[in-house]
Amino acid sequence: MDEIFGRRDMIAPARLKQLTVKSDLRGSVRVGAYLGALALSGTALWLSRGTLWALPAFIVHGTLINFLYAGQHELSHWTVFRTQGLNEFFGRLFGFVLFFPRDFDQVQHFAHHRYTQDWQRDGELARPRYRLASYLLWVLGPTYWYTRWRRIVRYSLGIVTEPYIPQGRRAGVIREARWHLAGYGLIAALSVVSGSTLALRLWLLPMLVMKPVHQLQNTIEHLGLPHIDNITQNTRSTRTNAAMRWLGWNMQYHTAHHAFPGVPCYRLPALHHELFVARDRQPPTMSYLAFQWAVIRALRHGRSEADYPDDAQWIGDDTDLAPVGPRLRPSAKA
């Protein structure tokens, strides 16, 4: 995705051109290192079964599986490798593992980029507004996985209802879902026939149980920011450490990514520096735990997203932003 959503005066055109260069070498190192870490954690989990060491191995392995989506996200943007076939191959592989077919992910995610924070057109806002219970169910994973599995089955039956999926893409997402369903069925059948628990132990259980760690990144990027057409106000970056940035394929530099999504993940730190650090600016920024606590406080006592203004930020650090009070409902004004 080479579209530009940030103001063109945010960075010199020549510098932006340098930063958008893709590299098969850097992409191979990035993907190879991540898959190597997954192989090591999976081996450790299998060899440590029945011992106390299985718990940390399970946590690490499940976290690595879930953060494969950060890689799938970059591969969907066609930015990890210069060779497009490599982006597609690994993107489809990661999407299969994560129950998140690549074609659908691209359509939904590109709608998200083109219409960020637009309730009617942003592909990632096709949901009811959060209440505390629905938010916690999403963060912990039950509703996340339900929507993933239900969508694959629904598409396999030829039922596509999402308005952001163009007619010309619907046959493709249906075909893709059917291939996914067939693949999962084959793995299940082979597991039953062979009596193997390998898929359960090294794939499904770690992925399902450790989903909340990945949801820390999924939820922090836009929630509580204004629904306006301004990338430097409607997209949040994350304050975190180098290990989490490695896990997230640098998606913590999310404001920079949304401004110029054609820049590869391995060049996002440099892009963030050019857009913000070098100009003594800062995008909306929070840490993972501070964000989650702020959301819980904002949604408790029966409140929902609908109780806060769409055109203003209502989640931020206490030191940077005074909490915005809920709008009075019509019945409360009387």
Both ends of the chain: CA-CA distance in Å?
50
Q: What is the mean pLDDT of residues 150-162?
A: 97
Q: Per the domain annotation, does 263 fall within a domain?
A: no
pTM to 2 decimals?
Answer: 0.91
Q: Per the domain annotation, does 172 fall within a domain?
A: yes
Q: What is the mean pLDDT of residues 49-64?
A: 97
Q: Each residue of 227-265: pLDDT tens digit?
A: 999 999 999 999 999 999 999 999 999 999 999 999 999
Q: How many CB atoms lie within 10 A of CB 142?
A: 13
Find the helix or strand (DSSP H, E) in which 219 lies.
helix 211-220
Q: Per the domain annotation, does 250 fall within a domain?
A: no
Is pLDDT at 290 greater than 90 in this prediction?
Answer: yes
Number of domains in the chain: 1
Q: Each residue of 134-144: pLDDT tens digit?
A: 999 999 999 99
Half-sphere exposure of 222 (CA within 13 A, CB side): 22
**How far is 39 from 199, CA to CA, in rounded Å?**
14
Q: Per the domain annotation, does 191 fall within a domain?
A: yes
Q: Per the domain annotation, does 299 fall within a domain?
A: no
pLDDT in the model for residue 325: 37
Q: Per the domain annotation, does 109 fall within a domain?
A: yes
Question: Which domain range does residue 173 map to?
Answer: 23-215
pLDDT in the model for residue 331: 39
In the chain, which ranges are E strands?
237-239, 285-287
Of residues 4 and 248, more confidently modeled: 248
pLDDT band at residue 317 using 50, 70 and 90 as cut-offs: confident
Burial label for 132, CB within 10 Å (0-12, 13-18, 19+), is: middle
Q: Per the domain annotation, does 64 fall within a domain?
A: yes
Of residues 94 and 324, more confidently modeled: 94
pLDDT band at residue 333 using 50, 70 and 90 as cut-offs: very low
pLDDT in the model for residue 1: 55
Q: Which two tokens stand for residue 309?
A: 């203004």
Q: Each residue of 6-21: pLDDT tens digit?
A: 566 789 999 999 999 9
Of residues 220 and 8, more confidently modeled: 220
pLDDT in the model for residue 10: 86
Q: What is the mean pLDDT of the chain?
A: 92
pLDDT in the model for residue 109: 94
Percent of residues, the chain, with pLDDT higher than 70 = 93
Write the DSSP symbol of residue 8. G
Where b means 16+ CB within 10 Å and e means fewer, 76-108 reads bbbbbbbeeebbeebbbbbbbbbbbbbbbbbbb
pLDDT band at residue 323 using 50, 70 and 90 as cut-offs: very low
Q: Per the domain annotation, does 316 fall within a domain?
A: no
**How far is 278 from 25, CA to CA, in rounded Å?**
28
